[in-house]
Amino acid sequence: MALGLSLALGATAAEAAIAFRSAASVDRNGSAGSITISRPPGTQKGDLMVAVIAVVPSSVTVTAPGGWSLVNRQTNTNGNSNALAVYYKVASAAEPASYTWTFSPNNGNAGGIMTFSGVDNASPIHAAAGQLTTSASTSIAAPSVTTTVADTMIVTGHEYAASRRWTAPAGMTEAFDVASRAVNSNGGVSTIGSYMSKPAVGPTGTLVATTGGNADTGAGITVALKPVVCGAAVSDAAYFVATAGNGTVVLAWSGASAVVVLRKSSPFTGEAPAPGVTYAAGDPVGAATVVYAGSASSLTESGLTNGTSYYYKIFAADGVPCYSPGTELKTRPEAGPRPAWSFTMAGGSMLNAGIAGSGTLYTSSNAGRVISLGTGDGLPSWAPMATTAPIQGSLTWLPTGGRGVRSLQSGTAAMAAGTSGAAQTVDVPIAAVDLTRAVLFFSVRGSSAEPGDGQVRGQITSATNVRFYRANDTSFSDLTVRWTVVEFRGAVRVQRGTSSVSNGGTIPIAAVDPAQSFVLASCSVASTDMTYGSDDFFRVRLLGATGLEIVHGTTAVKTCDWQVVEYQGAYVQRGTGTLAAGATTSGPVTIAAVDPARSLAQVTWRTSGDGSGPNLVRARLTGPTTLEVDRAATGTTIEYAWEVVEFADGTRVVPGTSSLGAAQTSASAAIAAVDPARSVAVLSAYQRAGRTAYASDDNVGPGWFTVALVDATTVSVERAIGGGAAADAAWFVVEFPDRNPVVLGGDQSGRVYAVDVASGTANWQALLTGADAVQAGLAAQLRAWSDAGFQAAHADDLIFAATRNASTTGNKVVALRAGDGSVAWTFNETGVYAMDYVVGMPWVDYGLNRLYVASRAGSSGTQPSLWVISTLDGTLLGSFALGHLETSPTVSLDASTVWVASTAGNLYAVDTATLTLKWSGPAALGAAVKGFVLEDGVVPGRLYFSTADGQVWCLQDPGPGAPPNPASPVWKRAVAGASTPLVLDKVYVGSSDGRLHQLDRATGVDEKQFVLGDGTATVGDPSTEDGAQVFAGTTAGTLYKVPLPLP
């Protein structure tokens, strides 16, 4: 049947208008000394309550209950004198059941409370005014107020000195109408509370309420309530996950600045935080409870009831606060041991159980995230990594990824002493590097009081050259440069330049993520600059994503070489500060907590004057949350900029300080062993400075060092001259990671991702040319496991990605280099072959350097559908028209056979030696095979698979000749919606009945069934880490770890 519904929506949460919720009042309270008015029903935290209190005579003192604020009081001494007062209160989460106003002796009182939602809590009263009716009348006016914001709520109170019922002002709605005495009576007092929405700004006009008689004097008050005004719609947290264990749920979400998390024990039915209202844990929101309000990114709930489903919904908040629509998930603590834990990601199904090993499981969700979980506790190892579209194919794990150091070169460059009238340039040839991924680190030592002589800048000037430069001087001194060039495999992007700088201005750079980027810079000065001063030290910092600042203290123009290093997997903090002329230390500079074993600090500065010691500083991490910048001598004001770089990709940092005595020019320090092939030693200040008290002249030599990693366990610092002054050099040895493993997957936008398993960041992602989507899992061929032919053809591992295009003829298979995602070859790049889409993971035959790819067979069903492609160059070696294939091809353990099945239910076997069909015809199974065929590890040719008609099969390949008879399988067992089986000592399959089934491997008997969660979701393909447990995901977006054996 056809069905479409249009749902009429009112204002959105972000456009919430003020709404009247309810009212309460007290009629015929007589002349009591107090009036107690109930809290209007349904009043919630953040609602605004407006009370209208009327008394006679006018001299009566009115005392409001705690928390109520007076908006306006009108005291009418004319005629039968009377008074009217209006109060307001913003409701808290715990309001009393009633409120009592007390009076001095009086002749009558009456009042009521109106509650409104959607009022600005911080400034609820937009305008208010009162007016007296001094002559007896049955028409009592409240004055006009003028609103200057839209969507206000106009509230009025009217009162006169008689007991009578009222008619609300035109256009207004009566909320209550009460009198102190029985109506109609000349004595006492009566009052009416009324309200109306006012969408437009402007005057309200006079608002007149009337009674039917008993004319008397009275008063009216008009109040305009200010609405909550929300800005742009607030976006939900990018992800929301939960790990449930024994009585606990650990929630985690993306780092929105502020969030409110609600919990219920039933599905949410509209409960949401109200705009403009600030919440705290424990506050009720309808039937839900606030369990967290703040800016953290995780929450642990304990003491929960096992076996109970809990529903959590997270709302991101802006500064108003206004809230996002919210993201909901359902989770269910269990006592265990089965399931050991469950992990839920909001936003979509999770039917791949993932790949697990070494204590970590990697999987993906339809929420568009790659997920890493500790198999022990089910907690995320890193923030789930976003993909453009869902990855549904199985992830692929590779032991060596694209991160880490491709090459590291280091050396010493001498800038020799001499007499010259020209600048000195020293070119150092290096082995070719990729300029976009190579970084130069260097340090300098020398003995010179002249900036033109001693200030050296360095840069990688080509793929094969590093250049060091100082300006011309009449007399050069000896300088020694220790340099290291680190070329990264990936995840690092370097831009560099040479710029003229002075005391201001911004150098434009290509956009970077400042939170992942740091700067290295070095400068030379003019040849005529013979004295160190305010134009010789440089402060360097990033100004946002596209700007770099290098400044000194004067307008003189200097030249600087700079590198901006964007390092995925690094977290960079930065800031500036000042050392006053008389100060030696910054004291502790507070930073966001870092792990000092993974972090380095660097500082640059500009100065107000000359001198050596006062202008040489160092920077150190003095704790996880503190940085210190200090010097050994005072005398100049220093403005410094600092960066703290914390690595999260497996990089290790060894920090240290070397202190040199007055006559000492070198020192060595022992460190925990690092791999010199991927480690570099750097100094914290200008990459060359330390602190010293040397103050005899401008010679920076006593405080300038070279630093080098001598061997795996030794760091050496050297200076050219002691100068009779002690010095301290702060250094860091940074050991970059080896080639971390990666997980790879292709998504439904046609992108392939290589995700570093240590950091959870993408080493690279590649948008495949000509791909609408990638559905199939990615196959890989490791170079190290391949034969000489492959190794000769390829310098890297290859990843094979096949397309799932809308076209039935234009699909491709792309081979990508694992290191950087570049294309090695593309099969069917120009559409020579009519290739339909591929959804099954291709199979790599290492022995023959072949890739077997199964595809559909086009709109006619007659196109080739099994493709045999050379992994060496992507050429076609053979093809078969076997009908529509939506499974993965499976190569037998002896590599002699490829099994593949069609959607029509035909199982084929192909002889890999002859590339001919092995059987005389297909085995007609009657229904499509799901996923792939799995061969038994013990009995050759024994195949396990599931078919779309809900059967799990065990079938024996009889060898060449007649196909196996599907009517006589080893066994066949019906399991509703059976998934692809996992074959361990038992056979495990997920089912549409919400259960994990355990079948006997020999007989197929359905021995046990284990319900996952509440059993309402379809269970996907199971996986395991080591055979002692099963992981299984569901359509509900929950993945379970079920230790074996099943109960």
Partner 1 sequence: MRVTVALALALLFTVGPVGALEPGGSRLVLLGVVLREPGDSFAIIEDAHTSRVGFYRVGASVGGVRVTRIEADRVVVAAGGTRAVLRLGRAVGVAPEPEPLVPVPVGRPAGDGPAVRPAGATLAAPPPPLYGHPVVVGQSPAPGRREPPISTGTGAAGEAGSTAATAPTGVAADVTFTGLHHNGSRRPGTEFSSAALRDLLIGVTLQRLSGSRQQRIELYAPDGSLYQRLSGPAAATTETRLPVGGTWITVHGLLGTWTVKVFVDGQAAPAGLGTFRLTP
* Contact residues for partner 1, defined by CB under 8 A: 1-14, 233-234, 266-267, 269-270, 272, 323-326, 346-349, 351, 366-367, 389-390, 392, 748-749, 772-773, 775, 804, 806, 808, 837, 839-840, 856, 859, 884, 886, 903, 930-931, 948, 950, 977, 979, 992, 1016-1018, 1020, 1034-1037
Query: Which residues have CB under 8 Å from 997's CB, separation 6+?
Result: 975, 978, 988, 989, 990, 991, 1006, 1008, 1009
Report the candidate in 830, 787, 851, 838 with the shortest Cα–Cα distance to residue 808. Answer: 838
Cβ contact 417:454 at 8 Å:
no
Calculate ∠ Cα 40-46-49, nearest 5°.
35
Q: How far is the CB of 15 from partner 1 (least distance, A)?
A: 8
Using the minimum distance from each CB to partner 1, give the nearer residue, 58 or 748.
748
Using the minimum distance from each CB to partner 1, give the nearer residue, 732 or 1040.
1040
Residue type, 877: L
Instruction: Report CA 419 to chain centroid distance, whole Å.
Output: 58
Burial class of 389 by CB neighbour count within 10 A (0 to 12, 13 to 18, 19+): middle
Q: How far is the CB of 348 from partner 1 (least distance, A)?
A: 5
Q: How far is the CB of 1036 from partner 1 (least distance, A)?
A: 4
**For 623, how many CA atoms within 13 A lie in the half-sphere containing its CB?**
8
User: Across the strands, what pairs with 908?
Assistant: 900
Report the candidate in 692, 597, 590, 688 with the shortest Cα–Cα distance to residue 646. Answer: 597
Cβ contact 343:242 at 8 Å:
yes
With tokens 């067979």, the residue in question is 857
Using the minimum distance from each CB to partner 1, give the nearer residue, 15 or 675.
15
Q: How far is the CB of 952 from partner 1 (least distance, A)?
A: 13
Using the minimum distance from each CB to partner 1, give the nearer residue, 324 or 516.
324
Q: How far is the CB of 8 from partner 1 (least distance, A)?
A: 4
Q: How far apart are CA 734 and CA 654, in angstroms?
A: 6
Q: How far is the CB of 748 from partner 1 (least distance, A)?
A: 5
Q: How far is the CB of 364 from partner 1 (least distance, A)?
A: 11
**Is omega for the bond preceding 964 within 30 degrees of 0, making it cis?**
no
Q: In this structure, what token pair is assigned to residue 272? A: 């949401």
Q: How far is the CB of 838 from partner 1 (least distance, A)?
A: 8
How do 589-590 and 259-264 pair as beta strands? unpaired
Q: How far apart are CA 353 and CA 359, in angstroms?
A: 15
Burial track 450-477 (b if 16+ CB lie within 10 A, e otherwise): bbbbbbbbbbbbeeeebbbbbbebeebb
Q: How far is the CB of 347 from partner 1 (least distance, A)?
A: 5
Q: How far apart are CA 690 and CA 682, in angstroms?
A: 12
Q: How far is the CB of 862 from partner 1 (least distance, A)?
A: 12
- List C-alpha distances in Å: 775 to 748, 841, 902, 916: 6, 9, 17, 28
Cβ contact 169:208 at 8 Å:
yes
Q: How far is the CB of 198 from partner 1 (least distance, A)?
A: 15
Q: How far is the CB of 112 from partner 1 (least distance, A)?
A: 26
Q: How far is the CB of 906 from partner 1 (least distance, A)?
A: 15
Q: What SS3 state is found at 838?
A: coil
Using the minimum distance from each CB to partner 1, give the nearer residue, 630 or 886.
886
Q: How many CB atoms lie within 10 A of CB 353?
A: 26
Using the minimum distance from each CB to partner 1, give the nearer residue, 4 or 319.
4
Using the minimum distance from each CB to partner 1, give the nearer residue, 311 or 571.
311
Using the minimum distance from each CB to partner 1, give the nearer residue, 57 or 326.
326
CA end-to-end span of the chain: 44
Query: Which residues have CB under 8 Å from 196's CB, separation 6+?
Result: 153, 154, 171, 172, 173
Q: How far apart are CA 18 and CA 227, in angstroms?
A: 6
Using the minimum distance from each CB to partner 1, give the nearer residue, 821 or 1037.
1037
In eight-state DSSP terms, residue 651 is -
Q: How far is the CB of 325 from partner 1 (least distance, A)?
A: 5
Q: How far apart are CA 742 and CA 764, in angstroms?
A: 10
Q: How far apart are CA 800 and CA 823, in angstroms?
A: 10
Q: In this structure, what token pair is assigned to residue 611? A: 């001198």
**For 137, how many CA atoms within 13 A lie in the half-sphere containing its CB?**
17
In eight-state DSSP terms, residue 628 is E
Report the candidate in 774, 781, 783, 782 with the shortest Cα–Cα distance to residue 745. Answer: 774
Q: How far is the CB of 812 from partner 1 (least distance, A)?
A: 16
Using the minimum distance from each CB to partner 1, give the nearer residue, 640 or 837.
837
Q: How many CB atoms lie within 10 A of CB 1?
A: 2
Burial class of 177 by CB neighbour count within 10 A (0 to 12, 13 to 18, 19+): buried
Using the minimum distance from each CB to partner 1, give the nearer residue, 102 or 1016.
1016
Using the minimum distance from each CB to partner 1, give the nearer residue, 10 or 421.
10
Query: Which residues have CB under 8 Å from 486's CB, separation 6+?
Result: 405, 407, 408, 438, 439, 441, 678, 680, 736
Using the minimum distance from each CB to partner 1, give the nearer residue, 236 or 334.
236
Using the minimum distance from each CB to partner 1, give the nearer residue, 233 or 983.
233
Q: How far is the CB of 1037 from partner 1 (least distance, A)?
A: 7
Using the minimum distance from each CB to partner 1, give the nearer residue, 7 or 938.
7
Q: How far is the CB of 839 from partner 1 (least distance, A)?
A: 3
Query: Which residues have CB under 8 Å from 7's CB, separation 6+?
Result: none
Using the minimum distance from each CB to partner 1, give the nearer residue, 141 or 854.
854
Q: How far apart are CA 614 and CA 212, in angstroms?
A: 89
Beta strands in 32-68 (DSSP E): 34-38, 48-56, 62-63
Q: In this structure, what token pair is assigned to residue 704? A: 């300038």
Using the minimum distance from each CB to partner 1, give the nearer residue, 499 or 1009.
1009
Using the minimum distance from each CB to partner 1, give the nearer residue, 408 or 776.
776
Cβ contact 615:692 at 8 Å:
no
